[in-house]
Amino acid sequence: MKSLWCMAVMVLWVLTISILGWFFINGSTAKGGDGRTEILVAQAERDQILAEMRQLLKAVDGVVRELGESEPDLKRMESAARAGGMHMAEDVELALMVKLPLPFKQMGMSIHKDMDALADAAMQRETPQQLLKRLSSMTARCTTCHDMYRFKASE
């Protein structure tokens, strides 16, 4: 009887881990009418994610504005880039992370990491061309993500 109980617990444990793994990879998604994947979130979660995207765009704008100056202020450029760095991802709730598909999470985290790397590169005095090349790589991922996904409030 004890071995049957242990087996049942083990099966439930494996099943639970499998379901959680499936949700971690696939998130809460549906096929959208425009060919993109809809990520199904609550309205407040959608607002939070879109606000984060606007903050990233403002960070990119701050870097580009400094690069357009004849003598860029490196501290301002660093500050603009850091505003889009990994610290933005620190407070994301687990309930929201589970809803996001893995490729979306990977692209998002790579952008935050690259914003911190861009800030470091600015302070290490990389050339404007090198910095723009970094930005180009990031914005290419942004457009790819926007081509693949859209958020749909499920409330």
pTM of the predicted protein model: 0.83
HSE of 46, CA atoms in CB hemisphere, 13 A: 14
13-50 residue pLDDT tens: 767 666 666 666 778 899 999 999 999 999 999 999 99
76-89 residue pLDDT tens: 999 999 999 999 88
Fold of 28-153: Four Helix Bundle (Hemerythrin (Met), subunit A) (1.20.120)
Residue 41 · residue 153 · CB < 8 Å? yes
pLDDT beyond 80 at 9: no
Quote the mean pLDDT of the chain.
Answer: 90
CA 56/CA 115 separation, integer angstroms: 9
Residue 70 structure tokens? 């004849």
How many Cβ atoms are within 10 Å of 99's Cβ, its own excluded? 22
87-124 residue pLDDT tens: 988 877 888 888 999 999 999 999 999 999 999 999 99
Share above pLDDT 90 across residues of the chain, in percent, rounded to a whole number: 74
Q: What is the dihedral of CA 127, 128, 133, 136, to 10 degrees?
A: 160
At 65 the pLDDT is 97
